[in-house]
Amino acid sequence: EPSSKSIENMRKFSEQYARRSGTYFCADKSVTSVVIKGLAEHKDTLGAPLCPCRHYDDKPAEASQGFWNCPCVPMRERKECHCMLFLTPENDFAGKDQTISADEIKDLTASLG
């Protein structure tokens, strides 16, 4: 499990970045919650929020290189977030929120390992 400090950092980052980029969280916020925890987990273990929706041959090298550190290059350049964390308004899966509380993250991931 990632640390509460990293989860909180990534939660705040996600809210700020959604606002800044004009994107929205997934209508199903369990997706948002899982991804935020994944970013927090990588922040704890690698020192950087490496995208949790990819596999890497060498995670530390990828974290240093930075292409896939959130917000990743595809997101920054084209608003493409395949983690479904930041969704453009026309995306079928986009909800209306740009906020998510710590309790929501906790509750929506409670059943996971």
Partner 1 sequence: EDEFEAAVLKSELPVLVDFWAEWCGPCKLVAPVVDWASEEYAGKLEVYKVDTDKSPGLVEKYKLYGLPTLVMFKNGGIVSESRREGAITKAKIKSYLDDFLQS
Binding residues for [4Fe-4S] cluster: 51, 70, 72, 81
| 63 near partner 1, rule: CB under 8 A | no
Alpha-carbon distance of 46 to 64, in angstroms, equals: 9
The pattern of x and - marking residues 9 through 28 that bind partner 1 according to CB under 8 A reads: -----------------x-x
d(CA 95, CA 48): 27
3-class DSSP assignment, residue 71:
coil
Active site residue 83: no
Say if residues 62 and 68 touch (Cβ distance below 8 Å). Answer: yes
Q: Which of the ranges 13-21, 37-45, 98-106 carries the binding residues for partner 1, by CB under 8 A?
A: 37-45
Site residues (vs partner 1, CB under 8 A) = 26, 28, 30-35, 37-39, 41, 52-57, 82-85, 93, 112-113
